[in-house]
Amino acid sequence: MSDPKRYWQPEAETASRDQITAWQSERLVSTVKRVYQNVAPYRDRMDAAGVRPEDIKSVDDIRKLPFTTKQDLRDFYPFGLFAVPMEQIARLHASSGTTGKQIVVGYTQNDLDIWGDIVARQLTAIGLSPRDKVHISYGFGLFTGGLGIFEGARRMGATIIPVSSGNTERQITILQDFEPACIACTPSYAMYIAETMEKMGVDAKKLPLRCGVFGAEPWTEEMRRQIEQKLDIKAYDIYGLTEIMGPGVAYECECQAGMHVNEDHFIIEVLDTETGLPVKDGEKGEIVFSCITKEAFPILRYRTKDIGAVTHEKCACGRTFVRMSKPMGRTDDMLIIRGVNVFPSQIETVLLKTGHSPNYQIEVDRVNNLDTIAVRVEMNEATFSDTVSEISQRERALAEAIKSLIGVAVKVILVSPGSIERSTGKAKRVIDHRKLH
């Protein structure tokens, strides 16, 4: 048997900086022309900013373009930012938004193929080949996690085990019996699987599992060490967001030294959060992405609100793509709970709708490697009752209403009025006990 490939697409992954810049310029110019022509909101925005498509001559002109935000995706929900007619859309994916309104993105078949390629780049980098099986524990559905890894594994020709999420004991049985070489899931779920194995008396060292691709939520180097040690594998980070593509926008190679941004498809900018100007290598700023090959949903200058840094230093793996750090925080108050994006304002909306006090506090923790979220809400006379059963019933009903909006189970605790800590008159909304950054 021949040695496994080192690169999936070496011509792209090891291209010279000049070549990458040339691709980016050419592709940005044509994408801007295309969206100006086909997507009314982009045209209106550019007209308002006094930018013509012909003003964009190279990647350096990207800063002339207006930003796109998550609010824009909501404002033009569902298909207002799509750049091709619906008959060319091969698939839709969606993720939840703050007011219950989800955001939706589309892919042409070509977009899906590119998605497959960029995920296959990582699977190849970490030593997988068509001879290997890939166990996918991300949820399959509108969430991009499951089907994103699926595209990559399919593109590469690996054997796919589309387990989806849940039923941990069954997942472990599959890891034992089907013998995958790789598992893809959230890092906290990987930890949970490891601990469940310990409880079941399953020896991870006896499994042929070699590596894991973990993303969709923040995790630390300490967690990586624990996952690697407990599951006896190498653990690799993968970055992505629905608005841009899904998992695979950036990926760790075998060196585990930052995530290579797939620069032939995406332009990354790191901007000072105060001035909006680009920061130097190694300095923190807000990460902004532009899609330059996507047909269906070519979002330009999308503000991720993730704080991160990049380095252009050459990586030992030979890839030339710039590497980004793990996200080091957010510019807004978004929380990532078990891979799901949660905004405090979503919880507030539910409280107000159900007649509860808007004085609340969200306490996030990680217990046995699973994120937990507790919402403390100040009791008021409208929600009070003299019987325990009615109060418990109200707590459960509120927890259910919050869960149905944010998609994550929460515990609701009703507390005395005035008992939620206020700083400078405004209640402190979130206490996050997880040490993620």
Q: Considering only residues 308-337, where is the footprint of other proteins by CB under 8 A?
A: none
Nearer to other proteins, 275 or 387 (CB): 387
Closest approach of other proteins to the CB of residue 344, in Å:
21
Q: Give the shortest CB-405-to-other proteins separation in angstroms.
A: 23
**# of chain residues touching other proteins (CB under 8 A):** 18
Question: Does residue 419 belong to the site contacting other proteins (CB under 8 A)?
Answer: yes
391 touching other proteins, by CB under 8 A: yes
Cis peptide before 85 (omega within 30 of 0): no
Which residue type, as a one-letter code, is found at position 83? A
Would you say 221 or 365 has its CB closer to other proteins?
365
Minimum separation from the CB atom of position 373 to other proteins (A): 16
Instruction: Say if CB 425 and CB 356 are below 8 A apart.
Output: no
Burial 80-95 (b: 16+ CB within 10 A, else e): ebbbbeeebbebbbbb
Site string for other proteins, 179-198 (x = CB under 8 A): --------------------
274 is a site residue for other proteins (CB under 8 A): no
Q: Which of 1, 48, 367, 388 binds other proteins (CB under 8 A)?
A: 388
The full DSSP string for 339-402 is TEEE-HHHHHHHHHHTT--S-EEEEEEEETTEEEEEEEEE--TTT--SSHHHHHHHHHHHHHHH
In this structure, are residues 151 and 334 in contact, taking their beta carbons and an 8 Å threshold? no
Interaction of residue 389 with other proteins, rule CB under 8 A: yes
Q: Does 417 bind other proteins (CB under 8 A)?
A: yes
Binding of residue 355 to other proteins (CB under 8 A): no
Count of alpha carbons within 13 angstroms of residue 282, beta-carbon side: 1
Least Å distance between CB 333 and other proteins?
Answer: 25
φ, ψ at 337 (rounded to 5°): -115, 115
CB of 387 to other proteins, least distance (A): 5
Non-local (6+) Cβ contacts of 47 within 8 A are none
Site string for other proteins, 367-386 (x = CB under 8 A): ------------xxx--xxx
Residue 425 is a binding residue for other proteins (CB under 8 A):
no
Nearest distance, CB of residue 414 and other proteins, angstroms: 7
* Minimum distance from residue 360 beta carbon to other proteins (Å): 15
Identity of the residue, 387 or 423, whose beta carbon is nearer to other proteins in the bound complex: 387
Secondary structure of residue 15 in the 3-state scheme: coil
Q: Judged by CB, which is closer to other proteins: 99, or 419?
A: 419
| Residue 392 lies near other proteins (rule: CB under 8 A) | yes
Concatenate the DSSP letters of all residues of 135-148 into one string.
Answer: EE-SPPSSSHHHHH
Task: Spell out the residues 6+ positions from residue 36 whose beta carbon is closer than 8 angstroms to its own.
Answer: 42, 43, 46, 53
Binding site for other proteins (CB under 8 A): 379-381, 384-389, 391-392, 413-419
